[in-house]
A and B are shown apart, each in its own frame.
Chain A
Amino acid sequence: MFKLWATIKKDVKILLRDKVGISLMFVMPIILVIVVTSIQNSTFQLVNKNKLSILICNRDTGKSSAELIAALGKIGMFKVSQTPKNLSEKQINDAMHNNDAMLGIVIPGNFSAKVSAKSKNAAGKALTSFGLQGDTVKSKANDIDPLTLYYNPVLQESLQLSVKGALQSALQMIESRQTLRTLYYSINEKELPQQLENEMLNNKTVINEVPVSKDGLRRTPNATQHNVPAWTIFAMFFVIMSLGGSVVREKVSGSFIRLKTLPTNYMVGLLSKQITYMGVTMLQAFVIFSIGIWLFPFMNLPALNLPSDLTALVVTTLICGWCAVSYSICIGVFAETQEQANGFGAVSIVILAAVGGLMVPSFAMQGIFKTAANLSPMHWCLEAYYSLFLQGGKLKDVLSNLTLLVIITVVIQFVTYLGLRRKNLI
């Protein structure tokens, strides 16, 4: 035990004097988590909270177009502004750029007249089918001139579909309202009362939105809940920049030769490195979680909510850290030079992070990449954290991911042992 303690003291002292290594292990992930969360939070807010700016060029002077514009404003998704009615297509494009508008809509000049004609036609058909005398306009039912929707190409496809859906909904409302009014007037020869119109058209079925979580808490996912766990895992695996190099340094410097002649098994050295750097990964998690909890609110970012099962969080962090440390030692054992360890280590971590869904959500991946994501240890770490942070999971809910992590860690350790034997290092 004294030998292990002396070795841990040695490793900690060397680590504390490795300023570059400490920067890479702590400062870089902290900067990453802050920057990425801030950027993603803006996008999150753009999609979820901020209204999309929309410019409307209304070439119609009738009532229906005004009602359409009012309906678009009431959806709550758009910030509506209007342009003069005579703008050309190029002028509309320029106006969109000048106003940072993501969307532009041109309402054709005969919009109200065509909506009115179409509703009279529909009302007439309805009255006829009721056995009553109705006026019909001899026009096709679908002859309203199309509205033109301009959009900024950066707008995501899913958002474009949402916009189109909202626009269709508003148009449907205008047409239905007009048809109802015409029908009412034809039967009663007086205007449809406002209260009745509202009751008939606005009395929608309410939709309750409830985030589904395992602990029953209604915690809304946000950029912080997504990014803090993801970049904590990245930081843990990034210990390779210090640990991989440390193993190589020990191997290529003469100290390893002397260690081999001493009455102590090198496994003590490897155990010490694992304990020391698992301490580092726990500290990384503590620091990054603390930043999420206490610093983010001061930066107008959502605060990190810790999972209800803290034991599960500690166990998950320990096992993720153990996997990261084992991988780093393995790379260090097989690398011939520090440059190899750092180069391969950094690139492999970035690839594993990308494949594992730390940078792009794995649900957005397709085909072979989705399969590859399921095979990445970082993905198992991330899934375990997401289960705890986003779904309110308990230890039993992350056991499958943790079991996979323990298995791959044992395999990595065995490969490390074989490497040490093959290189005659133990």
Chain B
Amino acid sequence: MALNDPFAIDITDMEFQYPDNPDVSFSHLNLKIKKGERFGLFGPNGAGKTTLMNLMTGLLQVDKGSITLLGYDMSKRNKTVNKLFGFVPQDFSFYHELSPAENLAFFGAWSGLNKQEICKRTDELLNILGLEDVRDKQVQKFSGGMKRRVNLAIGVIHKPKVLFLDEPTVGVDIQTRHAIINYLRALNDEGTTLIYTSHQLSEAEELCEQVAMIDDGKIITEGNIHTLLKEHQHESLEDLFINLTGKEYRN
């Protein structure tokens, strides 16, 4: 029933406020992300991108309204819905004392895979992401770019239908960024919906089809990148971003 829903994410009239931080809040927010889209979520520092992502993944609970993921209500998150999405947080979310293979074995088990599936996916992912040579070395000795790839591999080990990526390429070199972007495109081609935040707007132009810009807890514009640029008469997403959010420093 739920999987027939046309939307990967459907946010309806959502309200949220941190009890101890009234600066970040959402009021009557609506957003729909279709299945199979490559969706970019942008905004200045403190605009609420990470909070919105945490709400969409169920890490935070809405005060009012609803968020559904592939038709499942995220306020009643359970094992079924958790299997449907993957999350690649901005911070390195793995055990630095373990090797990539050991991390994938553990997170694969927690993602609901059996031993055979874990072995198969570990081989595939380490090969695709260029980590085969270091599969048994402790991650704490890796460079930032290699850690980003491990972070990504863990998020996709269970082949999620929706993948949330919070700044997946921050602090990596050009080669690693290209490798990650190419892999994400390939995933999307296989049907995975990508929901992505980044400060790299040129990268976003390269990867995303649909974007939403948020500021002060509100969506200030959303739609197809090319349509938005045409409507606002800008040549790049960066120009559009500056135009909509201003040039002031954000803290």
Contact = CB atoms under 8 A, between A and B. Distances in A.
Contact of B138 (A2, A17, A261): A17
B21 to A, nearest CB: 14
B106 interface: yes
Contacts of B57: 261
Residue in A9, A257, A258, A268 whose Cβ sees the most chain B Cβ within 10 Å: A258
Given A260-B59, A263-B111, A255 B94 contact: yes
Interface of A: prevailing SS: helix
A260 B83 CA distance: 12
B89 interface: yes
A63 to B, nearest CB: 81
Given A253-B91, A257-B59, A263-B83, A7 B106 contact: yes
Contacts of B86: 261
A13 B112 CA distance: 21
Contact of A13 (B96, B97, B111): B97
Nearest to A7: B106
Given A255-B95, A261-B85, A263-B82, A13 B102 contact: yes
Contacts of A253: 91-93, 95-96
Interface in A1-16: 2-3, 5-7, 9-10, 13-14
Nearest to B138: A17
B76 to A, nearest CB: 14
Given A260-B59, A261-B59, A263-B79, A254 B91 contact: yes
Nearest to B78: A263
B162 to A, nearest CB: 11
B102 A262 contact: no
Given A3-B110, A14-B97, A254 B102 contact: no
A14 B98 CA distance: 7
B183 interface: no
B101 to A, nearest CB: 11
B2 to A, nearest CB: 15
A255 B93 contact: yes
B154 interface: yes
Contacts of B89: 254, 257-258
Residue picked from B78, B83, B109, most chain A C-beta under 10 Å: B109
Given A2-B115, A254-B89, A261 B82 contact: yes
Interface residues of A, number: 23
Interface string A263-292: 110001000000000000000000000000
Contacts of B78: 263
Contacts of A261: 57-59, 82, 85-87
B126 interface: no
Contacts of A17: 97, 138
Contacts of B110: 3, 6-7, 259, 262-264, 268
A13 B109 contact: no
Nearest to A260: B59
Nearest to A4: B109
A271 to B, nearest CB: 13
A254 B109 contact: no
A257 B108 CA distance: 15
A257 B79 CA distance: 16
B105 interface: yes
Nearest to B115: A2
Interface string B66-82: 00000000000011101
B107 interface: yes
Contacts of A13: 97-98, 102
A9 B95 CA distance: 13
B35 to A, nearest CB: 19
A89 interface: no
Nearest to A250: B95
Contacts of B91: 253-254, 257
A17 B98 CA distance: 9
Contacts of B80: 263
Nearest to B90: A254
B114 interface: yes
A268 B155 CA distance: 20
B82 A262 contact: yes
Contacts of B87: 257-258, 261
A10 B92 contact: no
B94 A258 contact: yes
Contacts of B92: 253-254
Contacts of A94: none
A309 interface: no
Contact of A7 (B59, B90, B109): B109
A18 interface: yes
A123 to B, nearest CB: 89
Contacts of A2: 109, 114-115
B112 A263 contact: yes
A426 to B, nearest CB: 12
A295 B114 CA distance: 46
Contacts of B58: 261
A282 B45 CA distance: 50
A262 B107 contact: yes
Interface in A159-188: none
Contacts of A10: 95, 98, 102, 105-106
24 contacts: A6-B106, A6-B109, A6-B110, A10-B95, A10-B102, A13-B97, A13-B102, A14-B97, A17-B97, A253-B91, A253-B93, A253-B96, A254-B89, A254-B91, A254-B93, A257-B89, A258-B107, A258-B155, A261-B82, A262-B110, A263-B78, A263-B83, A263-B110, A268-B110
Interface of B: 57-59, 78-80, 82-83, 85-87, 89-98, 102, 105-112, 114-115, 138, 154-155
**5 tightest Cβ-Cβ pairs between the two chains A and B:** A254-B93, A254-B91, A6-B109, A263-B82, A258-B93
Given A14-B98, A18-B97, A258-B87, 17 more contacts: A7-B106, A7-B109, A10-B105, A14-B95, A253-B91, A253-B92, A254-B94, A257-B59, A257-B91, A258-B89, A260-B59, A261-B87, A263-B80, A263-B83, A263-B110, A263-B111, A264-B110
